[in-house]
Amino acid sequence: MTPRVINAEYIKTKIIEAIGVLSFRSDPKLLNCMRAARQSETSEIARDILDAILDNAAIAANEQIPGCQDTGTLVFFVDIGSSVLIEGHGLTAIIHEAVAEASRKFYLRRSIVRDPLLDRTNTGDNTPAVIHLSLVDGDGLVIHIAQKGGGAENMSRLFMLNPSSGREEIISNVIRTVTEAGAKACPPLILGIGLGANFETAPLLAKRALFQDLEARNPVAYYAELEDEIKSRINSSGIGPMGMGGNCTVLAVHLLQAACHMASLPLAVNLQCHAFRHLGIRI
């Protein structure tokens, strides 16, 4: 296959544009989910909270200001074709430059510190981003971007279950994660669940699950039913929007599964707040 050459500046421009969209405009499907939840919500306080969330989304889009003050860690999942050649900088450098420039251009809150313990000074430009690169066949370049806020991320969990653990134990651990998070993760939530793989890749499955279309369902009927049961049982917990009570705690549940060692059953739960700032671009 003839190599496809893509200019580094073009890639950077597209990433900056995408970060601007993420920062100011909510996914239309998210807003539809929120409106549907508002219609079915039985708690007056919960309805008021959902109205405020919808009003906030409209103001953010109209006035071009971030929908949440925590503009998050920039997370990238990149699928790059084996026939792609990038002219100019390397892809990792391009992404970091784009993040820094977008943070300045859109006045995004700087949230990244240099070191977890020794030097917690702010890097000043939201770099470094978190980047996951995958080499795939073909000449495509697909970049999925998320702004992952600290509150929901902090309440996410990894469980290394016994392989004898059944469906009920999996469900109970997911429910426990959401229950212990309470209002800290800013519900209503989107849940990304990774089941299988191993210690480091189950959380990646859970994170990647959050990038799915909000209306997506697992293609395996058993796991689709599991997604539905988890959503139903969490929404009957009474946590509600912002932990103030109600029947809308979770808007969507997405589960990705993978092969695992016969002695293991990893389960990762990645919580996503109602801001849901995820976008995919194809270059």
In a domain, 12, yes or no: yes
Each residue's pLDDT tens digit, 271-280: 999 999 999 9
pLDDT for position 176: 97
pLDDT of residue 211: 95
Between helix 167-181 and helix 221-235 the angle, nearest 10°, is 40
Q: DSSP letters of 4-62?
A: EEEEHHHHHHHHHHHHHHHHH---HHHHHHHHHHHHH---HHHHHHHHHHHHHHHHHHH
- Look at residue 139 in the predicted model and tell me its pLDDT: 93
Pair 272, 158 in one domain: yes
Q: In terms of domains, do 91 and 219 share one? A: no
Cα 168 to Cα 174: distance, rounded to the nearest angstrom: 10
Specify if 57 maps to a domain: no
Distance CA 86, CA 168 (A): 48
pLDDT of residue 197: 96
In a domain, 196, yes or no: yes
**Does residue 46 lie in a domain region?**
no
For 153-207, the pLDDT digits (tens) are 999 999 999 999 999 999 999 999 999 999 999 999 999 999 999 999 999 999 9
The Cα–Cα gap between 155 and 111 comes to 18
Verify that 105 and 115 share a domain, yes or no.
yes
DSSP string, 112-155: -BS-SSS---B-SS-PSPEEEEEEESSS-EEEEEEEE-HHHHHT
Shared domain check, 221 and 102: no
Helix (H) or strand (E) holding 172, with range, is helix 167-181
pLDDT for 77 beyond 90: yes
Average pLDDT (217-231) is 97
Report the pLDDT averaged over residues 23-27: 93
Q: pLDDT band at residue 2, thresholds of 50, 70 and 90? A: confident
- At 89 the pLDDT is 85
One domain for residues 185 and 263? yes
**In terms of domains, do 209 and 116 share one?**
no
For residue 1, is pLDDT > 80? no
pLDDT band of 270, cuts 50, 70, 90: very high
Same domain, 132 and 177: no
pLDDT tens for each residue of 127-147: 999 999 999 999 999 999 999
End-to-end CA distance of the chain: 18
User: What sign does the dihedral 199-205-210-215 (CA atoms) show?
Assistant: negative
Number of separate domains in the chain: 2
Report the percent of the chain where pLDDT is more than 90: 95
Given 94, 125, 148, the domain boundary residue is: 148
The SS3 of residue 215 is coil
Residues 136 and 236 in one domain: no
Please tell me whether residues 267 and 154 are part of one structural domain: yes
Mean pLDDT of 6-24: 96
In terms of Cα–Cα distance, which of 78, 96, 94 is closest to 86? Answer: 94
225/254 same-domain check = yes
In terms of residues, how long is the chain?
A: 283
What is the model's pTM? 0.93
Domain span at 174: 150-276
The mean pLDDT of the chain is: 95
Domain identity same for 100 and 168: no
Of 132, 148, 164, the one marking the end of a domain is 148
Q: Which pLDDT belongs to residue 44?
A: 94
Note whether 179 and 125 are same-domain residues: no
CA distance 60 to 45: 23
Q: Give the pLDDT of residue 25.
A: 93
